[in-house]
Chains A and B, each alone.
Chain A
């Protein structure tokens, strides 16, 4: 395993921090969730989907596979002392509390450094530790709202359209992992610990770096989503998804006259000036849209794929998971949760030395590992 012998103490809840812990666990680190008594990680109960496993949300099970759970009340002296012992032997600490909470518990970076000078102390906040929003809730949809992100998806006449996956949390989580690993790499060379900080706001601006750089340099022109089949407000026609007779067709960047020839759509052939593919994208996309809906998806793919035009069908989860192209990825794995229940989930997307990184260990039940960990540390 890549991160063999690395111990991570993870105080984080919900998704941003825990998704970082998950990746470290995937890579072979031992990840110990520190959870409060009774409720634990709020994610165990807060998410309300209609599908539950063992009374806990499938979301919690997905995010926390392959981790250990240690319950401690950090407001009691006994709980805090035990957790400090765990921290003393750890390589990494993660938290995503609002600014000031860890200080209040006596677990600020300064405090922790005294117990463990080499630690990589990693924190995710919503908006950083300064400024008027520092105490605001760092929640995915809210960050999508304030960062301009919700004005990039959907068509021009649609309301702001949030991305339907918790992209801010997950993307910031990947940055935290990058920072932690870079910190560990540096520590192995210098023996020095480090504090690594990520905020949802900075991460979601990084996510928009291609398009916000246009805004910074073109006189602050706001994005305008295309009226038809918008897939990126900054990209020329034909970029988008089009309805066919029996489904949908995705078309990426392509020469418009060439597309006109191949699809036998003569009205596209006149668009020879490639700058018009952006400036007249709505008019071009309307022509395409009317043309593509006349034939089934396969008809178009049989023309476009041999010509190496970037096109594909559009699948839902059923179409995806039944496709051989998906099955050979071997992305699914079965895990057994702390309560002994078998369930299927996804696995680490990074393959190392030709192998998938898998583990059959599911999410822990609350406090499942207290006695083991206490024994190992001589706390009992």
Chain B
């Protein structure tokens, strides 16, 4: 059963492709908004043709189906006058529209903010760019790995002597999409009070700068680049023992804790020589001692000792380990969605609970133009067709 969320009644037009913009559309859909993807009749969202691990559902990749569940699709060629008029009709009815084209593209269609505002004063017009709308990077492809590379992020992960290590997921797209949702919702709240629309802009690089705000603020103050620790780096601003360590049968994560408590929990006397004032400056030395010590016994053995003293430690788990665990089962994170063809897929659900209820929807991703007929029918009486 579909439980409608707090954004019930909200109409969102998504001119976005790939992940950053569509992940924002997905969250708005999760929260109960009606999200219509405006897609090129020929090919649609380019993400339909981008498969990861060569996994496909139908003509579109599993990746596309994951990002676009619970949305509708309206096929329109924005270069065709008739189609453009239909889309403008939808724009008059919508509350929010998103796009993540490179700067200038929406203007070519006559759908830049200034033009849209004339059609719909209250529109929340939300844009994602790679690097802003001006400057030397404005025409660079707004792609996740490139944004990570330019933003300095690849020097936060991995040990001190390793190469730049990117995050193994599309962090720029995801965090930027999350910021877009924040901006859209805050603008909607202002609109409720004042009736004013808004132009909301985020960029992949700006979002990654914000994401690294702790590091950059520290860098501004010290003017020295953060150093990843040589051993078990977990966070370059944090002292020993923060990191992941190998045990006799797996790996163990140790978060912040006083080294003298760690010493008594592990009964590792070598740690006794370090004062709390040295846990940052001598962290590599300390972490090396811990590394050599923890390898001797199993993860469970060490966890037993650490938990007894209420120290912050957990085992490293794979998805196999996690999904079999009761702690995973109780959060009911999975849901099944059904595509238009009746194919079933398992995916995750919205991570936010309202009034102690999870939000789910069994509606899968649409085919290109799946909803043209129903949308035109529905809006016929509103001068759209």
> Inside 8 A of A201's CB, which chain B residues have their CB?
327-328, 331
- Our pick among B157, B179, B235 for the contact of A174 (Cβ within 8 Å) is B179
| B225 lies within 8 A of A317 (CB) | yes
| B330 lies within 8 A of A131 (CB) | yes
Q: How far, in whole Å, are A149 and B319 apart by their CA atoms in the complex?
A: 9
> Inside 8 A of A59's CB, which chain B residues have their CB?
214, 217-218, 237
B97 at the interface (CB under 8 A from A): no
Q: How far, in whole Å, are A321 and B164 apart by their CA atoms in the complex?
A: 17
B216 at the interface (CB under 8 A from A): yes
Q: A131-B331, A198-B352, A252-B144 are in contact. Are A217 and B209 (CB under 8 A)?
A: no
Mask of A222-241 contacts with B, CB within 8 angstroms, 1/0: 11010000111111100111
| B348 lies within 8 A of A206 (CB) | yes
| A329 lies within 8 A of B205 (CB) | yes
Q: A51-B221, A148-B319, A222-B320 are in contact. Are A315 and B156 (CB under 8 A)?
A: no
| B216 lies within 8 A of A49 (CB) | no
B89 at the interface (CB under 8 A from A): no
- Our pick among A160, A230, A235 for the contact of B244 (Cβ within 8 Å) is A160
> Inside 8 A of B320's CB, which chain A residues have their CB?
220, 222
A161 at the interface (CB under 8 A from B): yes
Q: How far, in whole Å, are A210 and B149 apart by their CA atoms in the complex?
A: 21
CB distance from B235 to the nearest CB of A (A): 6
| B168 lies within 8 A of A328 (CB) | no
Q: How far, in whole Å, are A127 and B325 apart by their CA atoms in the complex?
A: 12
| A48 lies within 8 A of B318 (CB) | no
Q: A210-B67, A214-B55, A216-B347 are in contact. Are A343 and B163 (CB under 8 A)?
A: no
A118 at the interface (CB under 8 A from B): no
| A167 lies within 8 A of B351 (CB) | no
CB distance from B37 to the nearest CB of A (A): 17
A346 at the interface (CB under 8 A from B): yes
| A241 lies within 8 A of B166 (CB) | yes
| A2 lies within 8 A of B186 (CB) | yes
> Inside 8 A of A62's CB, which chain B residues have their CB?
213-214, 216-218
> Inside 8 A of A326's CB, which chain B residues have their CB?
205, 209
Q: Which residue of A lies closest to B137 (CB)?
A: A325
- Our pick among B190, B199, B347 for the contact of A354 (Cβ within 8 Å) is B199
| B253 lies within 8 A of A142 (CB) | yes
| B345 lies within 8 A of A213 (CB) | yes
Q: How far, in whole Å, are A343 and B213 apart by their CA atoms in the complex?
A: 13
- Our pick among B144, B189, B244 for the contact of A181 (Cβ within 8 Å) is B189
Q: A153-B168, A278-B54 are in contact. Are A178 and B253 (CB under 8 A)?
A: no
- Our pick among A174, A182, A218 for the contact of B178 (Cβ within 8 Å) is A174
| A317 lies within 8 A of B152 (CB) | yes
Q: A50-B281, A167-B167 are in contact. Are A222 and B318 (CB under 8 A)?
A: yes
| B187 lies within 8 A of A352 (CB) | yes
Q: How far, in whole Å, are A314 and B164 apart by their CA atoms in the complex?
A: 8
Main secondary structure of the interface of B (DSSP, over half): mixed
Using C-beta atoms within 8 Å of the partner chain, give the interface range for chain B. Answer: 35 or more
**Stretch from A68-76, A188-196, A258-266, A372-380 that touches the partner:** A188-196
> Inside 8 A of B313's CB, which chain A residues have their CB?
142
| B168 lies within 8 A of A215 (CB) | no
Q: A2-B189, A194-B354, A209-B348 are in contact. Are A162 and B331 (CB under 8 A)?
A: no
Interface centre among B164, B239, B323 (most CB of A within 10 A): B164
| B234 lies within 8 A of A51 (CB) | no
- Our pick among B7, B55, B226, B312 for the contact of A185 (Cβ within 8 Å) is B7
CB distance from B57 to the nearest CB of A (A): 9
B246 at the interface (CB under 8 A from A): yes
CB distance from A92 to the nearest CB of B (A): 11
> Inside 8 A of B165's CB, which chain A residues have their CB?
153-154, 161, 164, 241
- Our pick among B149, B156, B217 for the contact of A345 (Cβ within 8 Å) is B217
| B136 lies within 8 A of A2 (CB) | no
> Inside 8 A of A353's CB, which chain B residues have their CB?
198-199
CB distance from A95 to the nearest CB of B (A): 15
Interface centre among B209, B225, B312, B334 (most CB of A within 10 A): B209
Query: Which residues of B (148-163) have their CB < 8 Å from a CB of A?
Result: 148-158, 163
Mask of B349-381 contacts with A, CB within 8 angstroms, 1/0: 011111110000000000000000000000000
| A235 lies within 8 A of B52 (CB) | yes
B326 at the interface (CB under 8 A from A): yes
Mask of B173-217 contacts with A, CB within 8 angstroms, 1/0: 011101111110111111011000011111101110111111111
Query: Which residues of A (314-366) have their CB < 8 Å from a CB of B?
Result: 314-321, 323-329, 331-332, 343-346, 348-354
Mask of B101-122 contacts with A, CB within 8 angstroms, 1/0: 0000000000000000000000
> Inside 8 A of B280's CB, which chain A residues have their CB?
48-50
> Inside 8 A of B209's CB, which chain A residues have their CB?
326, 329, 331, 346, 349
> Inside 8 A of B67's CB, which chain A residues have their CB?
210
> Inside 8 A of A178's CB, which chain B residues have their CB?
27, 31, 178, 181-182, 185, 352
Q: How far, in whole Å, are A78 and B93 apart by their CA atoms in the complex?
A: 52
- Our pick among A61, A146, A210 for the contact of B217 (Cβ within 8 Å) is A61
A151 at the interface (CB under 8 A from B): yes
Q: A127-B327, A174-B179, A231-B168 are in contact. Are A329 and B145 (CB under 8 A)?
A: no
| A197 lies within 8 A of B179 (CB) | no
> Inside 8 A of A161's CB, which chain B residues have their CB?
157-158, 165, 168, 244
CB distance from A305 to the nearest CB of B (A): 8
B265 at the interface (CB under 8 A from A): no
Q: How far, in whole Å, are A250 and B143 apart by their CA atoms in the complex?
A: 11
**Stretch from A32-40, A100-108, A132-140 that touches the partner:** A132-140
> Inside 8 A of B322's CB, which chain A residues have their CB?
146-148
B219 at the interface (CB under 8 A from A): yes
B79 at the interface (CB under 8 A from A): no
> Inside 8 A of A243's CB, which chain B residues have their CB?
163
| B251 lies within 8 A of A325 (CB) | no
- Our pick among A147, A230, A325, A350 for the contact of B200 (Cβ within 8 Å) is A350
**Interchain Cβ contacts under 8 Å between A and B, 25 examples:** A2-B186, A2-B187, A49-B218, A50-B222, A53-B221, A58-B222, A139-B255, A139-B256, A143-B314, A163-B167, A164-B236, A167-B167, A171-B178, A178-B182, A182-B7, A213-B62, A217-B55, A220-B319, A241-B154, A311-B146, A315-B150, A316-B225, A349-B176, A349-B203, A354-B201
The 7 nearest A-B residue pairs measured at CB: A164-B156, A152-B168, A181-B185, A131-B330, A145-B253, A325-B137, A186-B6
